[in-house]
Structure formats: structure tokens, C-alpha cells
Amino acid sequence: MKFFVDTAEIDQIKELNDLGMVDGVTTNPSLIAKSGRDITEVTREICGIVSGPVSAEVVALDAETMIEQGRKLASIADNIAVKVPLTWDGLKACKVLSGEGKMVNVTLCFTANQALLAAKAGATFISPFIGRLDDLNMDGLELIEDIRTIYDNYGFETQILAASIRSANHMSECAKIGADVATAPASVIKAMANHVLTDKGLDQFMKDAAKAGIKI
């Protein structure tokens, strides 16, 4: 499973990229706003750090404007994936932009039917938001499983990009189900290394080494 980091913070991206833990980046207007920088400037810098796809989101509701903005975003760098919402107009924009050879990430997916439509419109990525479904006492991971089944049944090449990841458990469950990509905050990716028994064992090793006077 590929790891995309869901942030616009350059230091976080660089740290994970240096460790080989980043296959791409997802951004959105909210994340860009938190950085306090110009969207084009931030996006171009991120594209220069990572070699994989960098999702940059349009800020429009109608297909015509989405297509216009998508073309501008795609011109920033070759590894831009234009992010459009899963609305009827978003699907129209996806069809046009993907037809022009641009990567398209269709976002805000909450049903298998929506994912099926996005695949037929030529989406490169579909982004089901599992955490937001969990917030409503619905099973976000079940949605990933349903999409995986449908895409495998018909040979769709659209990649499942699990989004709205809230925990390290989400990451492992998405990997078991067969999500192609999971995008998560840097804190969640780093938390995957944590376990209380690892900490406990390391603490004991250090105490035993100190008692034995071991020095290397």
C-alpha cells in the first residue's frame, strides 16, 4: 500500500520523504490555509520534494470552472493530481481532465455507487472518507471493502485512496482490505511505529545494559 501524507507542512513532508515513507501528498484548501502561504507557491514546492502524485484541489462548484482551474493546477508540475469533488459537475470535470491525460483525484466519496461513477469517468484516484463515516456510526472500512470488490469485479484501474484516516488501526485495516493508497496526517503515519510493549521492552533492555555496564 502506498502512503500519501495529508498535509501542506513542508517540514513534515521532508522528514517522511527522507525515510521513504511518502509516495505522494494530498492537500486541500483547508490545509493550505493553515500554512498561511500562497497555494501555487506551496504546491510547487511540495511537487519538487516528492516524485509521486500531489493532489491539489479546485475551488469551484460548476464543471466549466473546475476544468479551467484543474488545467491551471496541472500546469504547476507534472506530478499534480487535480482533486475534484464527487458531484455530477465534478464527474464531468473528471471526464474532461482525465481525457486530456491529467491525473484526477475524485474526493468526498461516501458510497460504493459514487466510486463506481468516478471509475467510469476515468478517475485516477477515488478518495473514500472513512473517518467521517465512522463519525456517523457507519463503517468506513466496509466502504473500502465494497469498492475493492466492485473495482476487482470489472477491472477498473482507478486506485482506491483511503482518506480521512484517523488512526494507525485505520492504516493496517486498509492495507488488509487492499486499498491501493492511504493518505493520513504525518502524526498517524509516525504512530504506526508505536507499541507499548516495544517501549516496555526497550526500557528493560536499557536498564539491563546499565546494570551490566555495557558500553559500545
Class of domain 2-212 as given by CATH: alpha beta
Query: What distances in angstroms separate CA 40 from CA 8, 18, 209, one per listed residue?
Result: 12, 23, 52
What are the contacts of 166-173 at 24+ separation with CB within 8 A? Answer: 166/131, 166/134, 167/191, 168/192, 168/194, 170/130, 170/131, 170/140, 170/141, 173/141
Identify the three-state secondary structure at position 15: helix
211 is an active site residue: no
* CB within 8 Å of 16: residues ≥ 6 apart: 3, 5, 22, 186, 189, 190
Which amino acid makes up residue 107?
T
Task: Say which of 2, 14, 72, 83 is annotated catalytic.
Answer: 83
Residue with cell 515513507: 21
CA torsion 109-114-117-123 (nearest 10°) is: 10
Percent of the chain with pLDDT over 70: 100
Q: Is residue 53 very low, low, confident or very high in pLDDT (cuts 50, 70, 90)?
A: very high
pLDDT of residue 207: 86
DSSP 107-133: EEE-SHHHHHHHHHTT-SEEEEBHHHH
Instruction: Identify whether the C-beta of residue 170 lies closer than 8 Å to the C-beta of residue 162.
Output: yes
Average pLDDT in the 137-157 region? 96
Average pLDDT in the 136-146 region? 94
pLDDT higher than 80, residue 149 = yes
Domain parsing of the chain, residue ranges: 2-212
pLDDT of residue 79: 97
Residues 76-92 have pLDDT tens digits of 999 999 999 999 999 99
Average pLDDT in the 121-125 region? 98
pLDDT higher than 80, residue 35 = no
pLDDT higher than 80, residue 34 = no
Percent of the chain with pLDDT over 90: 82
pLDDT of residue 7: 92
Taking the C-alpha atoms of residue 39 and residue 37, their distance in angstroms, rounded to an integer, is 6
Average pLDDT in the 129-136 region? 92
The H or E element spanning position 152 is helix 140-154
pLDDT of residue 213: 78
The H or E element spanning position 190 is helix 186-191
Nine-digit cell string for 159: 486506485
DSSP letter (8 states) at residue 122: T
pLDDT higher than 80, residue 94 = yes
Q: How many other C-beta atoms are found inside a 10 Å radius of the C-beta of residue 210?
A: 10
pLDDT of residue 199: 86
Mean pLDDT of the residues in the chain: 94
* CB within 8 Å of 102: residues ≥ 6 apart: 70, 71, 74, 80, 81, 82
91-117 burial by CB neighbour count: b if 16+ within 10 A, else e? Answer: bbbbbbbbeeebbbbbbbbbebebbbb
